[in-house]
Amino acid sequence: MGRKRVFLGSVATESNTFSPLRTDLRDFRDSFFAPPGLHPATPTLCSAIYPVARARADDLGWTLIEGTATWAEPGGIVNQHTWELLRDQLLGELRAALPVDIVLLGLHGAMVSQDCLDCEGELIEAVRAIVGPDATIGVTFDPHSHLSEKRVKNADLITVFKEFPHTDFVKTAENLITLVSRADAGRITPVISTFDCRMIELLPTSREPMRSFIDRLKAIEGTGDILSVSVVHGFMAGDVPDLGARVIVITDNARGTGDALAKRLGMELFSMRGRTRPDFLTPGEALDRALAARAGPVVIADVWDNPGGGVPGDSTIILREMLARNIENAALATIWDPVAVRTCMSAGEGARLRLRFGGKMSPDGGEPVDATATVRRIAPAAVQSFGSSVVPLGDSVQIGVDGIDVILNTVRSQVFNTDVFRNLGIDPANKDILVVKSTNHFHDAFSRIASEILYAAVDGPYPNNPATNGYRNLSRKIWPLENNPHGL
């Protein structure tokens, strides 16, 4: 038997359809863009299939044909021309690679373009049409995605990050590749069962009840006919028909078992609604508690101004509150402001200048801050890490504003790791208060240095209440828009 021909592709972003931002090709190039064969050795969140497949290709007898891999930081709706260009580029690379036995796709699953509410469904369907019914198609998704019928129908295997924070993105790619190789060899016949939980909720796995739920899912995998179990959390900032949580169970040709398990787990998840979010404080409450803490650093997450959810990340609301209280020995990462960064770079390290920054993209982010700032550190093309992944921040600066160190950046990114501070010349362990823009991805790294972690919610930047978001494309009954969507 000859070597198998395996094509890889990755086009990924998360589209917040409520965001004042728009996404085009430049955003993909700014965040991550690897032409065929040029994917780095390190994985990105959605392209971990590349390094994992490379590592296992010889053992599996695979010849890899790598297509383009690209990722844009979550933002607004994708420009239609950009989506068509990225889609057709990948499909062209696939056609040129024919014949192929296997296609592996690293997708996010919440991309929306101007004319398409299900970009990934459209892509997987087109891939299936090109490779035919006999090739095996395997896909990884982020759980903050929308699971459409089109995706389930055209893919053979789907694995989804189980953890939020997504600390298991490499593991998810490994699981997919193991299952795909077994399916291709005819050792398993994967059948996908899904269950629509009919709910929109935030489901962090760093706390109960989700922690135990996910641990149980992992224990079920590999028992009997159960090959894989995943939870799609859904992405509440995407106004699409398939919005909401779903459970995916993949069995070895055991439809009845899979359907029953998906329903049982899905209803269990539904029963957790309203109990999965951390306690959210107001910024004032969070700062009061941080100031009263005996030991530092207290980490405060600005949960809704999280660029990882597609908002601009230039809100000044918590910073203004800190300045009003004359808080000292504190640091904040990050405020997205390319114009202010440019000005600080022109001024140079050590310069003291009048600077207006933040609060530019919408009224929801508060007013810009006008302050006398000291440019403490200039870091061209700065980065932070997320597991083994390297995340760009673009040209960045650390400025001192009264007693607060503020990082301004040019490539939008949520905070993943404490090195976001260290790379800009701040020792986070020595601060009393650290403010990070992130909903939960910061949690793993910061829990190692934090005396306490607080979640501060500022209404406005992010459509965080599904009941009042005003979805126009949602037609299913779904909680919390409906109290009893399953009609029980």
Report DSSP state, residue 42.
Answer: S
CB of 408 to Zn ion, least distance (A): 25
Decide if residue 142 touches Zn ion (CB under 5 A).
yes
Nearest approach, Cβ of 111 to Zn ion (angstroms)?
13
What is the CA 317 to chain-centroid distance, rounded? 23
Q: Between 144 and 146, name the residue whose CB sits nearer to Zn ion.
A: 144
398: left (phi over 0), alpha (psi -120 to 50) or beta: beta
User: Are the C-beta atoms of 232 and 158 separated by less than 8 Å?
Assistant: no
Q: How far is the CB of 410 from Zn ion (least distance, A)?
A: 23
At its nearest, how many Å lie between Zn ion and the CB of residue 160? 10
Least separation in angstroms between CB 209 and Zn ion: 19
CA nearest to 437, candidates 459, 465, 423, 416: 416
CB 97 within 8 A of CB 55: no
The residue (of 142 and 305) whose beta carbon lies closer to Zn ion is: 142
Q: Which is nearer to Zn ion, 6 or 197 (CB)?
A: 197
CA nearest neighbour of 244 among 252, 254, 236, 255:
236
Question: Which residues within the stretch 431-470 sit at the binding site for Zn ion (CB under 5 A)?
Answer: none
Give the nearer residue to Zn ion in terms of CB position, either 7 or 446: 446
Span of 4-12, 138-146, 246-254, 385-393 interacting with Zn ion by CB under 5 A: 138-146
Q: Which stretch binds Zn ion (CB under 5 A): 143-151, 180-188, 398-406, 460-468?
A: 143-151
Report the chain's C-alpha Rg in angstroms.
22
Segment interacting with Zn ion, rule: CB under 5 A, options 34-42, 59-67, 137-145, 205-213: 137-145
Tell me the closest approach of the beta carbon of residue 461 to Zn ion, in angstroms.
17
Counted residue by residue, the chain has a size of 488
User: b/e string for 59-78 if b means 16 or more Cβ within 10 A?
Assistant: ebebebbbbbbbbbbbbbbb
Q: Which helix (H) or strand (E) holds 104?
A: strand 102-106
144 counts as binding Zn ion under rule CB under 5 A: yes
Nearer to Zn ion, 144 or 412 (CB): 144
Sole window of 46-54, 119-127, 139-147, 263-271 interacting with Zn ion (rule: CB under 5 A): 139-147
Q: Between 144 and 246, name the residue whose CB sits nearer to Zn ion.
A: 144
Residue 414 or 469 with smaller CB distance to Zn ion: 414
Place of tokens 């383009």: 68
Which residue lies nearer to Zn ion by CB, 87 or 144?
144
Kindly state the smallest distance separating residue 144's Cβ from Zn ion, in Å: 4
**For residues 93 and 242, which CB has a smaller minimum distance to Zn ion in the complex?**
242
Which range, of 25-33, 140-148, 346-354, 395-403, touches Zn ion by CB under 5 A? 140-148
CB of 142 to Zn ion, least distance (A): 4
- How many Å from the N-terminal Cα to the C-terminal Cα in the chain? 54
Residue 59, CA distances (Å) to 63, 126, 182, 476 in order: 11, 30, 13, 46
Residues 6+ apart with CB under 8 A from 293: 432, 451, 452
> Taking CB under 5 A as the criterion, which residues in 250-309 touch Zn ion?
none
Number of chain positions touching Zn ion (CB under 5 A): 2
- By beta-carbon distance, which residue lies closest to Zn ion? 144
Q: Which is nearer to Zn ion, 169 or 357 (CB)?
A: 169
- In angstroms, give the least distance from the CB of 89 to Zn ion: 24
DSSP string, 408-462: EESS------THHHHTTT--GGG-SEEEE--SSTTHHHHTTT-SEEEEE--SSSS
By CB under 5 A, which span of 73-81, 141-149, 238-246, 404-412 interacts with Zn ion?
141-149
- Name 245's Cβ contacts closer than 8 Å, sequence gap at least 6: 197, 198, 199, 200, 201, 203, 231, 232, 233, 234, 266, 269, 270
| Separation CA 375–CA 350 (nearest Å) | 5
Which SS3 state, helix, strand or coil, does residue 465 take? coil
List the 190-196 sheet strands across, edge first. 190-196, 246-252, 226-232
Tell me how far, at minimum, the Cβ of 143 lies from Zn ion, in Å: 6
**CB nearer Zn ion, residue 144 or residue 151:** 144
Q: How far is the CB of 166 from Zn ion (least distance, A)?
A: 6
Task: Please give the Cα distance from 113 to 85 (Å, whole number).
Answer: 12
Task: Give the interface segment with Zn ion, choosing from 115-123, 144-152, 430-438, 469-477 (CB under 5 A).
Answer: 144-152
Binding mask 84-123 for Zn ion (x = CB under 5 A): ----------------------------------------
Residues in 65-84 that interact with Zn ion by CB under 5 A: none
CA–CA distance, 183 with 326 (Å, rounded to integer): 61
Residue reference for tokens 């997450």: 301
The CB-of-87 to Zn ion minimum distance in angstroms stands at 22
Contact flag: residue 163 with Zn ion (CB under 5 A): no
Least separation in angstroms between residue 47's CB and Zn ion is 14
Cβ proximity to Zn ion, 66 vs 142, nearer residue: 142
Token code pair at residue 309: 């959810």
Provide the binding-site residues for Zn ion, judged by CB under 5 A.
142, 144
